[in-house]
A and B are shown apart, each in its own frame.
Chain A
């Protein structure tokens, strides 16, 4: 299974870009959250973009990751975006109600 690396987290223009792994489950969620939070603490991050380009599977653990990050930045007016989400990932975001707080960009 592919592992998430530090290269998957980049801050560009106050925007944290997170490239998600092929499978976002409980097993990979902790690593993603910890790395994202490190950037949130150290750098001036306003918005977060989750890039689902490589992601083929996500369960509710992924919703926990997105929700947790959303809580951390929304009080400062930050927004969360999802890009490159395929139809399955979009369904997961919709069923969980996350599509109300995450802007899905086609």
Chain B
């Protein structure tokens, strides 16, 4: 069975919770485990947050009051495709893009230490999903593609 959905929303931090809950709801009929749902929500949250604060540099959620004039009007697009029990997620923004992708994907690397970004975003996407691909061109935007097979249980617990 194939099932598809797509949401497009303003790149503001208020929508982070909406995006991850929407994706979780989309897969809910497959009866995913709590752990799988949590993994997916975390990964979506990381990708969407990246688009908002790095892609569009809409920073006001970080304890900063909203200055509507300064809010970038950009949109974040989240597309999901379910093919049998494999969930494909694509998060697209048309923000400023990533100059050095290799560096950006290193754990603990962040361009915004002053915001206390932990630099764990891509590491979390990698850890909690089966597959992660990132394409980005400076000035044009970034696409994050993630895949996860549902119904396989946890590999993190079994590795311990």
Q: Do A and B come from one complex?
A: yes
A residues whose Cβ falls under 8 Å from a Cβ of B: 1, 23, 25-27, 29-31, 33-34, 57-61, 63-65, 67-68, 87-88, 91-92, 94-96
Known contacts A30-B63, A33-B63, A96-B124; can you find 15 more A-B pairs with CB under 8 A? A23-B17, A25-B13, A26-B61, A27-B17, A29-B63, A30-B64, A33-B116, A57-B45, A59-B124, A64-B115, A68-B116, A88-B35, A91-B35, A95-B123, A95-B156
Contact of B49 among A23, A25, A65, A87 (CB under 8 A): A25
21 contacts between A and B (CB under 8 A): A1-B17, A25-B16, A25-B17, A26-B16, A26-B45, A27-B14, A29-B116, A30-B63, A31-B63, A33-B116, A60-B119, A60-B120, A60-B121, A61-B49, A61-B118, A63-B118, A64-B115, A64-B118, A91-B35, A95-B124, A95-B128
- Is B38 interfacial (CB-CB < 8 Å)? yes
With a cutoff of 8 Å between Cβ atoms, the chain A residues found around residue B20 in the complex are 57
- Is B101 interfacial (CB-CB < 8 Å)? no
Whether the Cβ atoms of B49 and A26 lie closer than 8 Å is: yes
- Is B53 interfacial (CB-CB < 8 Å)? yes
- Is B34 interfacial (CB-CB < 8 Å)? yes
